[in-house]
Amino acid sequence: AGNRVMIKPSELTPHTSAQLERLLAQFFAPDEVCVVQGDAAVASAFAALPFDHLLFTGSTVVGRKVAQAAAANLTPTTLELGGKSPCIIDADCRLEDAALKIAHGKLLNAGQTCIAPDYVLIPRGSETAFADAYRAAVAKLFPTIAGNDDYASIISPRHLARLRSMLQQAQTQGAQVLSMDPLAGQSAAPGASALDGATSRQMAPTLVLGATSAMQLMQEEIFGPILPVVSYDRLDDAIAHINAGPRPLALYWFGNSDSVRDDVLARTVSGGVSVNDTLMHIAHDNLPFGGVGDSGWGAYHGEQGFLRFCHQKSVLIQSRWSLGSVFYPPYGARLDSTMKLLRRII
């Protein structure tokens, strides 16, 4: 679109940031695309610059700060935040299919994506069957966890400790915490790494049955390979649960009834939806991607991205034979005749 771009990557990924800077420098001049590296202070100063447009991807908490900084310059923003993206499993759904697609969406990058399924709403009585199906799905996708290059590590020791703390709290409050590691089995400690020792951050996929709203893992975006399961008696209860919280970036529904699907879509609000799958709506260039409420604002991708990051300047070039003078004062019979003619035409 011809825009010049400045990019400020996360300070938590210095090696990736350096690689991004090196690769972009091979194809763009510094005054076309520029990568700016630095800590939180640099990010704060970056957000305060008078850009024509500012796109931020990150947490809701930081997104609010970015919006406040941009407001000083009246800089328009696009905020791609996150939230607790739910999966709703309808009673007529085939659990094996749903579990495989949920496992793929949840465990891509070990759950560290903004649209990862955050928790599952399932008909009461289906918990054990879903746990079995999810375990089989994990084993199919990742026969091993330890040393598996297809299975990502947690970004930092601090984040790994946070995830483990969530699991320990949930277990203390009565939840059933199940390791989904195909080799370690259910006996693995909650939040255990796939490899022994403090250096490993390949956290085993974990299912949490009996999750409640009092638990930290149901109050915050998890951003890891932990999947809480919440049981519901009626679909109305599942919808009420979603609507009681902030609006999510994504929602996933699994079932076979078109009428039930349409009911769920009509009664919930989310940034985007995939039906009988996870993540896939983000891959379609004809579908705008973005959040709503606490999950962000503004949408992009495909044509919508060009429109979002460009200013559409309206220009009218008047011809020599303009009729605009008909509407100049003084007003009288000439204007009345013109208006009558326009009414007949319109």
Q: Catalytic residue at 11? A: no
**Ramachandran class of 239: left when φ > 0, alpha when ψ lies in -120 to 50, beta otherwise:** alpha
* Residues 6+ positions from 90 with CB-CB distance below 8 Å: 123, 235, 253, 254, 255, 256, 257, 260
The single-letter code of the amino acid at 191 is G
Instruction: Determine how many CB atoms are found less than 10 A away from the CB of residue 256.
Output: 12
Say what angle helices 258-267 and 235-243 make with each other, to 10 degrees.
Answer: 30
As given in the structure block, the two tokens for residue 275 are 């039906």
The catalytic position among 87, 93, 114, 221 is 114
Q: Catalytic residue at 87? A: no
The catalytic position among 80, 87, 127, 221 is 80
Q: Which of 224, 214, 116, 118 is nearest to 164 (CA)?
A: 224
> Is cis: bond before 330, omega within 30 of 0?
yes
Give catalytic residue positions.
80, 114
